[in-house]
A and B are shown apart, each in its own frame.
Chain A
Amino acid sequence: MIDVAAFFSAIEMLFSSASPWLIVIPGILIGLVFGAIPGLQISMAMAVFLPMTLYMDFMQAMLFLTAIFTGGSFGGSIPAILMNIPGTSSAIATAFDGYPMSQKGEHNVALGLALGASCTGVIVGYSILFLLINPISELVLKVGPAEMTIVILWGITLIGSLSSGSLLKGVISGLIGLLIGTIGYSEAGVTRGTFGSPYLLDGVSVIPAMIGMFAASELFRQANREYLVDDSAARKVSVRLILSGFRKALANPGIVLRGSLIGVFVGAVPGVGSSVANLLSYVVTKRNAMNPDSFGKGNPAGVIASESANSTSEAGSMATLLALGIPGGGATAVILAAFAMHNITGGPQFIREQTDVVYAIIIANFGQAILLIGLGLILIPLLANVIKVPMTYLVPSVLAMAVFGAFGLTGDLSGPLTVLVFSVLGWVFKRYGYSVPAAVIGVLLGGMAEDSVIYSYQISGGQWSYLLERPMALTILALLVVSLFGSKLVDVLMRRIRR
């Protein structure tokens, strides 16, 4: 399974001189900064710095771009934890428990947990990729729209479990979000639900909507508080506590491994990526926890589950890119552009003929994860000082940043308007017990769900028997049923056995 000669050639390629590593540190720093600023996406950072790779050789270019990817994957968790603004869509679930931890004065531990889970996630993810790159690429080819529909159905049915209040309101929120996610042009070539607004022709912008529902609505509620953390002693930034959080992440290998596996396999499916992986990992961890009610209120396991999956999905999307030449998302699309700039085509032939380069990219990511630990530990204490800023100053500053970021994402005023509309909606949802996370997940998956249902319908000709010919779809369906009713079924069986 492993080409030993190519492995040693990769080691030589990476460690014969220091030059490949000189661009890794700036790459991680760029990723950290772009990930930590809401509205500046990792793919945007990679696109901005892509022209620089023209002056590098292919190996250096790959190291530089994947370093931005690695840094950005973790960077997004910083504002998610400190301000309830997921810096990237892949950090949505990090905010679920990270922000409540900050409110309790456990921001240091939460940031350490995120760093620990991200770094170990990258290492585990690339280890899986190193061992299984060929089987993963074959598996990805078997994932069709029917499988995608069931995966999304899985996510939607699990939405109810994310709701801490009424289950019914949780499901209503998720489905309303799903409908919002389908606004705009449909496959039939007509527009729906735009209310005559040209801004909505391409649908609702997901990230500004997410920033509005999560961050702005929460900031409205917090505006009259003095500080984010009431207790002045708890506002301290402590490297010791960050390290204790880091160790805590390592002490939960089960959650990290589960998150990493979800991250690699979900991240490998083109178009799905880290945003779905982190949510799925969070939901699965919550369902399997002894104390599911504590999730959403500052449970460290929630942060570990989310961060281990979103950082690992980088490895998954790289698998698809390297093995099939298909980018899984925006960031890998930029890497594909770098491939083209260096006259290299990804795909089975690339893996077969340049195995040493593929291995070098994988091994370099192990090094990046270790460097991220050091750089993260230096930068986090600086960034965590945001907790000491009075809310009177923090609230308008973050709201303004959200507005700038939203403009940056859409390129017009539809971004800021989306933030405004969804901030009010988020505030109403929170006030009346509807689930904001469920609604956001619905908005995120809406378009994807509709596309998958349509493709499944077109391929099957509307025949349900088509599903029986898809063993992978049936397997995922079985997993869905087990995840929903498995624990109850076991309870019933145990009761009968005891009788």
Chain B
Amino acid sequence: MPRRPKTINKHRLADLFVLLLLAGLAASYCLDAVRASTDILNLILVLPVTVIVLVLCLIQLVLSVARLRSESTAQEPVTDMLPVISVFAAYVFSLRWVGFDVGTCLFIGVFLWLHGERRWGWLFGYSISFALALSMFFSKMLPYSMPMLILRTAS
């Protein structure tokens, strides 16, 4: 009979945390809806769906706790993903200030550099040309103005 590992599996623990987070978000949304109005039109779908979500989360919680010490399938380390997610988040949050043209150029350049591109011609050439082409295409196609830093004055 295989020996049961004594330590708690970190992935399973994180899984449990995600489950509790989802249940918490559903409950807080429902409470916010109740606080906004107890009118039946406001709660006719939100309330029953939230109750079902919480019941299902409770069942899943019991199952997850029982499996807390069992092995889980191999996952890529979170540390491998964090730089990509962080650079993308920085790109999106900076758009308001640096505009789509400069923001996109910086994002692509930093991403390429982080992933080992050291040929300066490719690094600068691709990030500048791609960002410019995309910014010009979308700014011409869309019926509303886009935040831009350089192309704003050019167009």
Interface residues on A, range: 35 or more
B154 cross-chain contacts in A, Cβ below 8 A: none
- Quick one: given A392-B112, A393-B126, A420-B92, are A411 and B15 in contact (CB under 8 Å)? no
With beta carbons under 8 angstroms apart, the residue of B14, B49, B50, B138 that contacts A404 is B138
A218 to chain B, nearest CB (A): 12
With beta carbons under 8 angstroms apart, the residue of A187, A392, A395, A411 that contacts B144 is A411
Residue A190 CB within 8 A of the other chain: yes
Measured CA separation A156–B40 after assembly (Å): 22
Mark B56-76 against chain A: 1 for CB-CB distance below 8 A, else 0.
Answer: 110110010000000000011
A189 cross-chain contacts in B, Cβ below 8 A: 37
B29 to chain A, nearest CB (A): 5
Tell me if A401 and B112 are in contact (CB < 8 A): no
Tell me if B126 and A457 are in contact (CB < 8 A): no
The A interface, classified by DSSP as helix, strand, loop or mixed, is: helix
Measured CA separation A453–B81 after assembly (Å): 41
Chain A residue with the shortest CB-CB distance to B139: A404
With beta carbons under 8 angstroms apart, the residue of B49, B75, B84 that contacts A179 is B49
A393 cross-chain contacts in B, Cβ below 8 A: 112, 126
Chain B residue with the shortest CB-CB distance to A403: B92
Measured CA separation A188–B26 after assembly (Å): 20
Measured CA separation A166–B100 after assembly (Å): 40
Which residues of A from 151 to 185 have beta carbons under 8 Å from B?
166, 168-169, 171-172, 175-176, 178-179, 182-183
B116 cross-chain contacts in A, Cβ below 8 A: 392
Tell me if A187 and B41 are in contact (CB < 8 A): yes
With beta carbons under 8 angstroms apart, the residue of A178, A179, A188, A427 that contacts B81 is A427
A399 cross-chain contacts in B, Cβ below 8 A: 88, 91, 107
Tell me if A221 and B81 are in contact (CB < 8 A): yes
B78 to chain A, nearest CB (A): 8
Residue B146 CB within 8 A of the other chain: yes
With beta carbons under 8 angstroms apart, the residue of A175, A193, A419, A453 that contacts B33 is A193
B96 cross-chain contacts in A, Cβ below 8 A: 413
Measured CA separation A269–B44 after assembly (Å): 23
Which residues of A from 411 to 453 have beta carbons under 8 Å from B?
411, 413, 416-417, 419-420, 423-424, 427-428, 431-434, 449-450, 453
Known contacts A393-B112, A400-B104, then 6 further A-B pairs from the complex at CB < 8 Å, ordered by chain A residue: A168-B63, A179-B50, A397-B130, A411-B144, A420-B92, A433-B15
List A residues at the B interface (Cβ < 8 Å): 40, 48, 166, 168-169, 171-172, 175-176, 178-179, 182-183, 186-193, 216, 220-221, 223-224, 392-393, 395-397, 399-401, 403-404, 407-408, 411, 413, 416-417, 419-420, 423-424, 427-428, 431-434, 449-450, 453-454, 457
**Subset of 19 A-B contacts with CB under 8 Å:** A168-B56, A168-B59, A169-B60, A172-B53, A172-B60, A175-B56, A176-B22, A176-B25, A179-B53, A192-B33, A221-B81, A392-B115, A392-B116, A393-B112, A399-B91, A407-B146, A408-B138, A413-B96, A453-B44
